[in-house]
Structure 1
Amino acid sequence: MSLLLAVDVGNTNVVLGIFDLTQGPDAPLICSWRLATSRERTVDEYGLSALALMRHRGIEASQIKHVAISCVVPPLHPILMALSKTYFGVEAFYVEPGVKTGVKVLIDNPAELGADRLVNAVAGIEKYGAPLIVVDFGTATTFDVVNAKKEYLGGLITPGVKISAEALFQRASRLPRVEIAEPERLVGRNTVQAMQAGIFYGYIGMVDGILQRLLEECPEAQVVATGGLGRVMAPHIPRIQHVSPDLTLDGLRILWLRNQGGRRPA
């Protein structure tokens, strides 16, 4: 069995996914896991965590023949590259400027584009076509726009819903922390209910309002949601047509195939 380990490193979570390459270019995602992102973890801590999760699903390190990494946390770049070599014996394919993507990036400085946003655009085009808008509900919520020519035009970055809620908790001393979830009612009858409704529906209104403006400029675009809270938020935002929780992992698989698994110089 030839398996690809895809690693998406975000500011909040490290997401691991396993693809079975023996099933062809459309290899399915066998399983995935989320770890908390920590800049203090060592190569061994990440490596042992990955091995334990894999063995729980009957996967051995020797079955991992390739590793593809997308990382937006620079201090973890050498950690994850070392993990690939130390625990799986392979040089990782790393998404960085210069890799073959098939997408022309038209922003002012393409080198500053987050790897996850580029990977999402690649996967979104592959799965849903272009034009396209990708909404990623992560630490920040990002909106990425691709035109009908499959050119990446740019996007928007907003504070994620958890960041927004945390600011409210910190700045209003009498307000408690609450779970971010769909509230039971719109009009809260106590402080917790009022906060849940305000955070949840306020954020939905913000996302929906941005999408309305984007679709006025790009009316034919497909809208896809991904990220940790994508499945929670998307059902309440009618302009979102697709929900793809594993979009970034799929993008890593696609990019690895397009680059034949070769690692570009750092």
Structure 2
Amino acid sequence: MLLAVDAGNTNIVFALVDQARTIRARWRIATDPRRTADEYVVWLNQLLALEGFSRDDVEGVVIGTVVPRALHNLEVLAEKYFGSAALVAGRDIPWDIALDVDEPGNVGADRALNVIAAHAKYDGDLVIVDFGTATTFDVADYSGAYKGGIIAPGINLSLDALVAAAAKLPRIAIEAPEDPSVVGRTTVSQMQIGIFWGYVAMIEGLVARLRAEIGRPARVIATGGLAILFERHTDAFDAIEPDLTIQGLAILWQRCHI
């Protein structure tokens, strides 16, 4: 089995993926570049055992990261505890897609991986919305080429900035308000409306603008940990694929092992 590691700015996701690219188990830990390989393996050993696996089941490790400082300890983890030199997406394994943008070297690994996985599953033009630390909108054409996109603050980041800058505003849970009215009667309800429905409006508005600019029918795919938060509250998405980045890692791994 493959251990796929998606190192993001907020969390690192570890996933066990079988040869059919089925995710057999996944775990999430807060991103901390200071965390050592020894700390990772103590945590992973227990989680593997809880799912009925062990380190012996892992045949290889593939890493995608947007946090360069976290990479070294993850590579040490792979070599020291899984007996395998990790392959790093974009460095050791080429993307094999066209990065049709002005600065292809600055395209985040997660965004390229999302495009690879989405194009492998869906035909035609695509818009991929990834809910992470930032919310990104990526455009891929019918050939699978990455054409560019949008970077917006993630919803948690937006709330953090609001609470930090306004002394009297409380921290609230990010969830759809129970009352359908968008006229809030309390400070908390007004914040919930602004954060949640304001974010939905941003998603719908940017998706509409992207579709208009593409000029052809485009399927919109949502991914990332917070995608399900909005699934029932907007018709902007054609599909929810929570694990696109992990699937992209598995696809790259298989390409270089065929």
TM-score range, shorter chain: over 0.9
| Residue ranges of structure 1 left out of the alignment (5+ in a row) | 262-266
The list of structure 1 runs, each at least 4 consecutive aligned residues, that deviate by more than 3 angstroms after superposition, is none
The one-letter code of the counterpart of 1:247 is L
Q: State the partner residue of 2:244.
A: 247
Q: Is the 8 A contact 1:64 1:88 kept in 2?
A: yes
CA distance in 1, matches of 2:246, 2:220: 18
Q: CA deviation at 1:131?
A: 0.9
Q: State the partner residue of 1:62.
A: 56
C-alpha distance 164-96 of structure 1, shift in aligned 2 (>3 A): same
Q: State the partner residue of 2:196.
A: 200
- The answer to which of 77-86 and 94-103 deviates more is 94-103
Q: CA deviation at 1:54?
A: 1.0
CA distance in 1, matches of 2:166, 2:108: 32
Q: CA deviation at 1:198?
A: 1.1
Q: CA deviation at 1:97?
A: 4.5
Q: State the partner residue of 1:188.
A: 184
Q: State the partner residue of 1:20.
A: 18
Task: Give 1:90's match in structure 2, choosing from 74, 84, 88.
Answer: 84
Q: Does 1:150 align with 2:148?
A: no
Q: Is the 8 A contact 1:7 1:16 kept in 2?
A: yes
Q: State the partner residue of 1:238.
A: 235
CA distance in 2, matches of 1:117, 1:97: 15
Q: CA deviation at 1:98?
A: 6.6
Q: Is the 8 A contact 1:14 1:37 kept in 2?
A: yes
Q: CA deviation at 1:58?
A: 1.1
The one-letter code of the counterpart of 1:211 is V
CA RMSD in angstroms, aligned pairs only? 1.4
CA distance in 2, matches of 1:54, 1:73: 24
| Residue ranges of structure 2 left out of the alignment (5+ in a row) | none
Q: Is the 8 A contact 1:100 1:259 kept in 2?
A: no
- The answer to which of 84-93 and 46-55 deviates more is 46-55
- The answer to which of 70-79 and 179-188 deviates more is 179-188
Q: CA deviation at 1:47?
A: 1.9
CA distance in 2, matches of 1:188, 1:8: 39
Q: Is the 8 A contact 2:5 2:246 kept in 1?
A: yes
Identity of aligned residues (%): 42
Q: Is the 8 A contact 2:127 2:221 kept in 1?
A: yes
Q: Does 1:258 align with 2:255?
A: yes
Q: Is the 8 A contact 2:116 2:144 kept in 1?
A: no
CA distance in 2, matches of 1:34, 1:103: 28
